[in-house]
Structure 1
Amino acid sequence: MDMSSPTPPADETDEQRIRELAAQSQTAQADPDLLPALHTADAVIVNIAGRRLFGRDAFASAMAEALSSPLKDVRTSLRVHDIRFTTPDVAVVSLTKTVHDERPEAEAPSELPPAGAMTYVMTRQDGDWRITLAQTTPIR
Structure 2
Amino acid sequence: MVLMSTTDADSRTELEAIKQVVARVEHSQNNELPADFVALFRADAVWTTGHGKRLFGRDAIATFTHQVLPGAMQNTKVTFEVEHVLFIRPDVAAVKVRQVYETPDGQDVGTPLFVMAKEGDQWLLTACQNTTVFNDE
State the TM-score bracket (shorter-chain normalisation). Answer: 0.7 to 0.9
Counterpart CA distance in 1 for 2:77 and 2:50 is: 12
- The structure 2 residue matched to 1:88, chosen from 87, 90, 94, is 90
- The structure 1 residue matched to 2:109, chosen from 115, 118, 130, is 115
Letter in 1 for 2:54: R
Larger Rg: 1
Q: Does 1:58 align with 2:70?
A: no
Which structure 2 residues correspond to residues 1-140 of structure 1 after superposition, within 5 A? Answer: 6=5, 11=10, 12-29=12-29, 30-68=32-70, 71-73=72-74, 74-102=76-104, 114-140=108-134
Offset, 1:133: 1.6
Specify whether residues 10 and 52 from structure 1 end up closer, same or farther in structure 2 by C-alpha distance, changes over 3 A only.
farther
| SS at 1:138 equivalent | coil
TM-score by length of 1: 0.80
TM-score by length of 2: 0.81
| SS at 1:137 equivalent | coil
Contact 2:5 2:87 in 1 (8 A): yes
Contact 2:46 2:127 in 1 (8 A): yes
Counterpart CA distance in 2 for 1:48 and 1:35 is: 16
Q: What runs of 5+ residues in structure 1 fail to find an aligned partner?
A: 106-112
Counterpart CA distance in 2 for 1:131 and 1:15 is: 14
Contact 1:119 1:135 in 2 (8 A): yes
Deviations 1:80-104, CA, capped at 9 Å, x for gaps: 10111000100000111112335xx
CA RMSD of aligned residues (A): 2.2
Q: Alignment length, in residue pairs? A: 126
Q: Which residue of 2 aligns with 1:108?
A: none
Percent of aligned positions that are identical: 30
- Deviating above 3 A after TM superposition, structure 1's stretches of 4 or more consecutive aligned residues are 5-10
Q: What runs of 5+ residues in structure 2 fail to find an aligned partner?
A: none
